[in-house]
Structures are given as C-alpha cells and as structure tokens.
C-alpha cells in the first residue's frame, strides 16, 4: 500500500518540482503552528502551552502572550490558533476551543480580553485567522471534532468585521475543514486550505471585504494544512503526514521542501526574514495528546531559503 509520503514524493517527481533543503533553527515546543512575520520578528503559536512566542536571531524564544490564566474554573482547553494585528496595532488571536477571538492589550503576556464571540457560527473548534488592512478577521474552523474522531462535515468561514459584527460570507458556501488562510498582496483574493478536500481554494475579495466566487486553485497530493503566499502568485502549503511543504501555482507544483517524518510533521509555513525570502516551517510530533505534546516539547522551527518573497501578502 502506498504511504502518504510516497504519494507526495511521486507527485513532486512527476511535476519536476525543484527540491529545496530546510534546516532546524529552534526546538523545545509542543505543537508549533500559525507562523507570522511581524515588525521584523518571527512569531508562532506554541499551541499546547497556551502561548504565542517570538524567536530572536539565535533561535531563542520569548513568551509574548500567555492565555493560561483563562483555564481557571473551566475544563475547556486553552489553545491559541491564528493571530494578527488590527490597524491600531493591537494583536488579536483565536482561542480555538473557547470559540473566541481574544485581544492582547499590549502589556503583560496575560493581558487578554474578549474581542469577539464566534461560538454562534463555530460548530467545533475554531482554527486559523488572517486579518486584512482594515482590521477585518477571516477565521477558519475544522467543522467537526477531529480530536474525538467525529465524521468530517463542512462548515463556513467566519468573519469578524472591524466594528465587531460577526457573520459568515453570503457568497461562499461551507468548506471542507478549512485550515490555513491568507490574503494576496493586492487584497483582491483570499486563499484557504480545505484539508479534507485535498485542495487549495481561492475566492475573490471586494474592497469592502466581501467574499465571492470560490474555486479550485490547486489539487494537493495529500491533506494541506497551514499555508503562506508569495508575491509571485504562489501558495506554499504544509502537508502533515505527507513529508513535504510544497509550492503551487495555477500551473501546478513548482517547489518542494522535504521534511522527513522522523524529524516531525510540518504543520504550517510562512515567508519571513528581512526580505521575506526565508520560508519558516513549524514542525510538530504530537497533535492529539495535548498534555504529552507540551510535556515532551519535541516541536521545532525550520527555515528554507527560497527564490520568492512574501511581499505584502498576509499574514
């Protein structure tokens, strides 16, 4: 029986994709996710420690946001997902299992309050998020409890408008386990990874933030997870369990970065660095057992130097 790694490797070969090597720069994390490049610094969610962290040039991590105080008096896991900046500089972040968007006040790491309650539209845990230049947040959700082996089902994107209004896009139907999400440099398109559909979906974004015309951008040889865009129209997608991070264009696969499974599972990617030509990869070992993941701390951050730049793409 063909394994996912063999399937992706065969697709890479068939496409004639350029292979690029990655190197590990930092380790000691639970399940790292949601990489970001903000204000000249690399950020990520160390998910099962309930924190957002930054890395310095030597790979040393600093906790910038810590949501663990929210665990008091509740059995809801405190796991931070996608995050981004509002126009006024405040940071907002998805608390996945609380089904909330939190805002960090800019002070102590635990200076957090509720920015938006998205539970009305969130059937299971919320997931990733991208914030546009106007402060509008587009949030993905799994749609089913993957941690309890529920049957997959579709669910809508969730949009938090700049005035705090929460809703779903009228012209974009339910998606099949939407995960990574990103906005093109000119703001005219939004891309998301539909995990259970093995594809990247693109949709048009109007000046007022409205979404429409969802359509296939790329078919993936395995389930895509976190994504990052480049200014040349490429979508970089991590494929957990597939052993690769790959770049797609409308013409097909162009580049591939192998991440052997003995080193962990690549969950997400993003272009960062001073020129945004360094692809950061988050790599984890245990996604289902939260406590074990945090206790063992086997997650790591990798980088690969690539011939493309992130430019003004978001996140």
Domain ranges (residues) in the chain: 4-305
CA distances from 242 to 6, 11, 68, 161, 266 (A): 8, 11, 32, 35, 9
Stretches in the chain below the pLDDT threshold 70: 146
Whole-number Å distance between alpha carbons of 311 and 233: 11
The DSSP output letter for 288 is: S
Rounded CA-CA distance 41/57 in Å is 9
Rounded to an integer, what distance in angstroms lies between the CA atom of residue 196 and that of residue 218? 14
Q: Match domain 4-305 to its CATH number in 3.30.2290.10, 2.120.10.30, 3.60.20.30, 1.10.620.20.
A: 2.120.10.30
Eight-state DSSP code of residue 50:
T
What's the pTM? 0.96
Q: Given strand 278-284, what is the order of strands in its sheet?
A: 23-29, 299-305, 278-284, 265-272
204: Cα within 13 Å, side-chain hemisphere: 5
Q: Give the DSSP letter of residue 175.
A: B
Distance CA 32, CA 231 (A): 25
Pairwise CA distance, residues 102 & 95, whole Å: 7
In the prediction, which pLDDT does 227 show? 98
* Cα separation, 311 vs 217, whole angstroms: 20
What does the block give as tokens for 38?
Answer: 């903000």
106/64 Cα distance (integer angstroms): 9
Give residue 181's pLDDT: 98
Q: What is the pLDDT of residue 219?
A: 97
Looking at residue 256, its pLDDT comes to 98
Quote the pLDDT of residue 145: 75
Residues of the chain by 3-state class (helix, strand, coil), percent to 5: 10, 45, 40
Q: What distance in Å separates the CA atoms of residue 13 and residue 256, rounded to the nearest whole number?
A: 10
Q: How far apart are CA 303 and CA 273, in angstroms?
A: 10
């Amino acid at each position: 029986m063909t394994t996912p790694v063999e399937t992706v490797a065969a697709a890479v070969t068939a496409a004639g994709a350029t292979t690029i090597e990655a190197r590990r720069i930092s380790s000691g994390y639970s399940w790292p996710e949601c990489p970001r490049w903000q204000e000249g610094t690399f950020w990520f969610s160390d998910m099962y420690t309930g924190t957002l962290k930054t890395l310095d040039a030597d790979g040393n991590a600093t906790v910038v946001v810590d949501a663990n105080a929210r665990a008091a008096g509740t059995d809801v896991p405190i796991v931070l997902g996608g995050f981004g900046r509002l126009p006024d500089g405040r940071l907002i972040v998805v608390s996945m299992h609380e089904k909330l968007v939190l805002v960090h006040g800019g002070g102590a790491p635990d200076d957090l309050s509720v920015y938006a309650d998205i539970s009305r539209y969130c059937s299971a845990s919320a997931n990733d998020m991208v914030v546009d230049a106007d402060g509008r947040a587009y949030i993905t959700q799994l749609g089913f409890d993957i941690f309890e082996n529920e049957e997959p089902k579709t669910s809508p994107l969730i949009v938090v408008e700049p005035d705090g209004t929460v809703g779903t896009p009228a012209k974009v139907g339910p998606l099949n386990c939407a995960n990574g999400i990103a906005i093109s440099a000119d703001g005219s398109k939004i891309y998301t990874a539909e995990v259970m559909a093995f594809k990247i979906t693109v949709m048009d974004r109007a000046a007022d933030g409205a979404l429409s015309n969802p359509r296939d951008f790329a078919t993936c040889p395995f389930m895509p997870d976190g994504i990052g865009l480049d200014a040349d129209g490429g979508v970089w997608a991590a494929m957990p369990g597939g052993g690769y991070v790959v770049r797609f264009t409308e013409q097909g696969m162009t580049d591939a970065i192998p991440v052997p499974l003995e080193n962990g599972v690549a969950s997400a990617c993003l272009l960062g660095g001073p020129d945004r030509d360094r692809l950061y990869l988050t790599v984890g070992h245990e996604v289902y057992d939260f406590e074990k993941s945090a206790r063992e701390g086997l997650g790591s951050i990798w980088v690969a130097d690539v011939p493309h730049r992130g430019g003004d793409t978001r996140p």
